[in-house]
Amino acid sequence: MRMTTLLTKTAKTAPAEADSANAKFLLQGGFVRQEAAGIYSWLPLGLRVLRNVERIIREEMDALGSQEILMPALHPKEPWVTTGRWDNVDILFKVLSQTKKEYALGASHEEIVTPLVGSFIRSYTDLPVSVYQIQTKFRDELRAKSGILRGREFQMKDMYSFHRTQEDLDAFYQKTLEAYLSVYRRCGVDAKVVEASGGIFTEKKSHEFQVITPAGEDRILACSECTFAQNSEISSLTETDPCPNCGKTLTITKGIEAGNIFDLGTKYSEPFKIEFTDEDGTRKAVLMGCYGIGVSRLVGTVVEASHDDRGIIWPKSIAPYAVHLVSLSSKDPAINERVMTASESLVDELKEAGIEVFWDDRTGVSAGEKFADADLLGIPLRIVISEKALAQGGAEWKLRAGGDARIVPVEGVAEEIAAWVEEK
Amino acid sequence: MRMTTLLTKTAKTAPAEADSANAKFLLQGGFVRQEAAGIYSWLPLGLRVLRNVERIIREEMDALGSQEILMPALHPKEPWVTTGRWDNVDILFKVLSQTKKEYALGASHEEIVTPLVGSFIRSYTDLPVSVYQIQTKFRDELRAKSGILRGREFQMKDMYSFHRTQEDLDAFYQKTLEAYLSVYRRCGVDAKVVEASGGIFTEKKSHEFQVITPAGEDRILACSECTFAQNSEISSLTETDPCPNCGKTLTITKGIEAGNIFDLGTKYSEPFKIEFTDEDGTRKAVLMGCYGIGVSRLVGTVVEASHDDRGIIWPKSIAPYAVHLVSLSSKDPAINERVMTASESLVDELKEAGIEVFWDDRTGVSAGEKFADADLLGIPLRIVISEKALAQGGAEWKLRAGGDARIVPVEGVAEEIAAWVEEK
């Protein structure tokens, strides 16, 4: 993608309303645009990141054997009345049609998915089964805040599983917990699993995934030695107590909730009468679990956990592009032509290797401005082709994550870049 | 995908409310599920078709140089007031938040995209530019009807282009018209371009794409000889008139509208004051075009245009799977084992060739029931492995679109299938 063709332009400064690092850099870099408080458009660079995160999540959910579906955002009122959540969920947007029919905008999909999957369950041989979707959610938050972390409209992956026995549900729950940790790892952040309250979903067990970062809004009580961690909201312990697990020191750190999983038991299968015939002929209520990752929120979480004062530092796995080629133009037309010809050859060579480059092909823009944009946009590998680099027989290679710049010979640079891109 | 693992099951009969071929077969086959009038969930098989159509559309829009973005469904009221459409568009769903803020649910995105793209346009060098999205639309239809053809919530591809001159807009409009014809062709249906009224979008020129089928709800006045075609709604001609183009006979046929494109002129750039500085320093309003394909509607349109009385006949390009393997079980365990072993080998061989097979691995289901399901689901190539076929040294090969069944030798059948799948 040539920068001179790209729809968006970076802004010199972040908008005044940016209340967090993710809002600041994503808005300033032109990844997203705010349409209203808590409501964003995803622009070309941001959408590429979102799609990369979606792809990772999809691969992990498919590997669990879950089947992808797509449920609507507009929900009839009746199933929300059946579960008692029509009146009890205050963040539920409600819509009245011309024909005076009431709908909810899906804040979650238990009311839709339970009868849906239930309609295909007759006997224990139909269990277990699990479905997921990557879809738009709506929540009427009193205060939207923290950029794309707490929005009124956002992208979510929600998965629902249906089981014959508690043991089977427990096993799937544990497999999903591990798949979630794999999602965060692959997206370049480390998450801690903490016990949490079930909120509006369940009174049974639930776990949150907390990405530890000082920008976090949740306070996590974690053991300095073992894996014990609890959300301080529901913990009866404090920082002065010994770890109940190993006796060592508990400390408070801050985290961003980046996913949660719930054992729903029969909370939803009972009101919808979703039962199966067991081997012995008896009818039993299906056990359910639900598992959510805010996909757009995860993009924001990565920015919170991976940036410096100049901009974003994207992990290669979800970066909009792996390679940012900066061509430094010169006032001397002959030099300019050499720089642009060398740049174009590199773009073509990498294209043949299946690598699309983000190319700053702008002329009349200073080196300082180009480097500042590269730091802001946060693409992991920056390659500079300039008069100076060419005079040294090569191109400048620099990682956004840190380390010194070095000159690599122009011959073979495409292969070297391709090898680096493929590296895990 | 093993049929015994698949979430969905086919139904013996179509639901009573199915008012069209697409509703009948898509519901009965378990491609979609109706959640409320005009509101559907996409189940695993249906979602695969929808994604295939999306992929084709995305490839064609990318080839036009359009950049993909994703705008929200929840729109602030203000821009809809600016264009005068807050009060004039009767199918606009309106939402009131807890904090008494009003939103529209996006029925179209001119109100969002015009200021969005406009914020990046300064001079003529920033033009032309075009963006598109594949996103969920909401329309408060008085009557939802014809299955997924006219829904209250549906998937749409909407593209918007921004130009310096009418000539440039005209050229892009024409390129898009051809890209649209390519989309329909690749989805296995033939569409006719007809002049149409601009509806709620524009008073300037617009074209509709009509898929000709007796199930259509639009009446198209088309010349029997040349390319002349008009929507009879806006035509001043009737069936008895000669073609104004070539003088030959005009006939009325029925069509399903499967897309439309509009020259918007300055209808939206003027109220939002989206201007550019031209080469001579003057400020001018940007010219706009908009281009829509109902993605989910197109899936329904294909079913209307391509089915028989037994079920759907999917074009290979968008079929949920290219190959439907039917294993006929036997009461003799030895034969059963031979059938299942041969089936499993074929599935594995095709998997290695990158082809995922839809495998009817059910036992205790009659051949008749399995063939009826295969006809209903409409996967293009049916391969039967049975006692009878194995006795003849092969597997039975039959195309859903028609033609006789034939026995192909088990040796080499995987290669033959792979070659057929790759064929355009």
Residues A337 and A418 in one domain: yes
Provide CB contacts within 8 A for B276, sequence distance 6+: B121, B122, B123, B124, B126, B127, B164, B283, B284, B286
Are B41 and A103 within 8 A, CB to CB? no
CATH number at A397 reads 3.40.50.800
Residues B78 and B120 in one domain: yes
Q: Looking at A253, A287, A311, which one is the last position of a domain?
A: A311
The answer as to whether A89 is a domain residue is yes
The helix (run of H) or strand (run of E) holding residue A2 is: none
Q: What is the pLDDT of residue B174?
A: 96
Residues B188 and B164 in one domain: yes
Q: Could you read off the pLDDT of B208-222 as tens digits, one per residue? A: 999 988 888 888 888
When pLDDT is averaged across residues B57-70 and rounded to a whole number, the result is 98
Inter-CA distances, B161 with A324, B119, B131, B245, Å: 27, 14, 7, 30
Task: Please indicate if any CB of chain A lies within 8 Å of the CB of B10.
Answer: no
Listed residue (A214, A180, A209, A211) closest to A193, CA to CA: A209
Q: A123-136 burial, b if ≥16 CB within 10 A, otherwise e?
A: ebebbbbbbbbbbb
Task: Please indicate if any CB of chain A lies within 8 Å of the CB of B283.
Answer: no
Q: Could you read off the pLDDT of B311-344 as tens digits, one per residue? A: 999 999 999 999 999 999 888 999 999 999 999 9
Q: At what angle do helices B166-186 and B44-63 cross, to 10 degrees?
A: 150
The answer as to whether B90 is a domain residue is yes
H-helix segments, A29-126? 44-63, 77-82, 85-88, 110-118
The answer as to whether A44 is a domain residue is yes
Provide CB contacts within 8 A for A377, sequence distance 6+: A10, A29, A45, A311, A312, A320, A324, A358
- Cβ neighbours of A348 (radius 10 Å): 12
Task: Please indicate if any CB of chain A lies within 8 Å of the CB of B5.
Answer: yes
Q: Looking at A290, A311, A332, which one is the last position of a domain?
A: A311
Q: Could you read off the pLDDT of B127-157 as tens digits, one per residue? A: 999 999 999 999 999 998 889 999 999 999 9
Q: Name residue A252's beta-bridge partners.
A: A221
**Residue B152: which of A74, A116, A142 has the nearest Cβ?**
A74
Q: B389-404 burial, b if ≥16 CB within 10 A, otherwise e?
A: bbeeebbbbbebeeee
> Do A71 and A115 touch, CB atoms closer than 8 A?
no
Are B138 and A76 within 8 A, CB to CB? no
Query: Per the structure block, which two tokens stand in for A364?
Result: 């009349």
The answer as to whether B6 is a domain residue is no
When pLDDT is averaged across residues B255-269 and rounded to a whole number, the result is 95
B16 pLDDT band, cuts 50/70/90, is confident
**Residue B142: which of A33, A41, A98 has the nearest Cβ?**
A98
CA distance A395 to A389: 5
CA distance A47 to B71: 10
The answer as to whether B404 is a domain residue is yes
Q: Looking at B311, B341, B364, which one is the last position of a domain?
A: B311
When pLDDT is averaged across residues B353-358 and rounded to a whole number, the result is 96
Are A71 and B41 within 8 A, CB to CB? yes
- Find chain A residues with C-beta within 8 A of B148's C-beta: none
When pLDDT is averaged across residues B392-402 and rounded to a whole number, the result is 95
> Which domain does A327 fall in, by range?
323-422
> Do B312 and B380 touch, CB atoms closer than 8 A?
no
CA distance B246 to B393: 59
pLDDT at B114 over 90: yes
CA distance B252 to B239: 6
pTM score: 0.96
Q: What's the whole-number average pLDDT of chain B?
A: 94
Q: What is the pLDDT of residue B188?
A: 95
Query: Per the structure block, which two tokens stand in for B181?
Result: 């014809």
Residues B300 and B374 in one domain: no
Residues A358 and A239 in one domain: no
- Find chain B residues with C-beta within 8 A of A97's C-beta: 93, 140, 152
Provide CB contacts within 8 A for B305, sequence distance 6+: B189, B211, B213, B215, B256
- Tell me the HSE value of B338 on the side-chain side, using a 13 A CA sphere: 16
Inter-CA distances, A347 with A343, A360, A378, Å: 6, 11, 19
Residues B236 and B335 in one domain: no
Inter-CA distances, A95 with A258, B333, B421, Å: 29, 58, 46
Task: Please indicate if any CB of chain A lies within 8 Å of the CB of B140.
Answer: yes
Residues B332 and B294 in one domain: no
Closest residue, chain A, to B71 (C-alpha): A41
Q: How far is B182 from chain A (nearest CA, A)?
A: 24
The helix (run of H) or strand (run of E) holding residue A209 is: strand A206-212
The sign of the CA dihedral B304, B308, B314, B315 is negative
pLDDT at B297 over 90: yes
Q: How far is B102 from chain A (nearest CA, A)?
A: 11
Q: What is the pLDDT of residue B283?
A: 97
Residues B25 and B171 in one domain: yes
Task: Please indicate if any CB of chain A lies within 8 Å of the CB of B103.
Answer: yes
Residues B293 and B348 in one domain: no
Query: Per the structure block, which two tokens stand in for B307?
Result: 């089915």
Share of chain B above pLDDT 90, in %: 81
Are B6 and A67 within 8 A, CB to CB? yes
Q: What is the pLDDT of residue A199?
A: 61
> Do A76 and A100 touch, CB atoms closer than 8 A?
no
CA distance A120 to A255: 40
The answer as to whether B48 is a domain residue is yes
Q: What is the pLDDT of residue B103?
A: 98
Residues B369 and B408 in one domain: yes
CA distance A281 to B112: 57
Are A33 and B75 within 8 A, CB to CB? no
> What is the SS3 assignment for A9?
coil
Residues B155 and B304 in one domain: yes
Query: Which residue stretches of chain A have pLDDT < 70?
Result: 197-203
pLDDT at B45 over 90: yes
When pLDDT is averaged across residues B280-303 and rounded to a whole number, the result is 98
Residue A416: Cβ-neighbour burial (10 angstroms; 0-12, 13-18, 19+): middle
> Do A48 and A32 touch, CB atoms closer than 8 A?
no
Amino acid at B112: I
Are B90 and A103 within 8 A, CB to CB? no
Q: How far is A75 from chain B (nearest CA, A)?
A: 8
Query: Per the structure block, which two tokens stand in for A264?
Result: 């729903």
Please give the ipTM for the structure prediction. 0.96
Q: What is the pLDDT of residue A245?
A: 83
Q: What is the pLDDT of residue A198?
A: 61
Cβ-Cβ contacts under 8 Å between A and B: the total is 131
> What is the SS3 assignment for A419?
helix
The answer as to whether B2 is a domain residue is no
CA distance B55 to B52: 5
> What is the SS3 assignment for B326?
strand
The answer as to whether A380 is a domain residue is yes
CATH number at B203 reads 3.30.930.10
Query: Per the structure block, which two tokens stand in for A104?
Result: 């909810």
Domain count, chain A: 2
Provide CB contacts within 8 A for B415, sequence distance 6+: B353
Residues A56 and A144 in one domain: yes
3-state secondary structure B150-165: ECCEEEEEEEEEEECC
Task: Please indicate if any CB of chain A lies within 8 Å of the CB of B142.
Answer: yes
Task: Please indicate if any CB of chain B lies within 8 Å of the CB of A55.
Answer: no
CA distance B234 to B392: 61
pLDDT at B266 over 90: yes
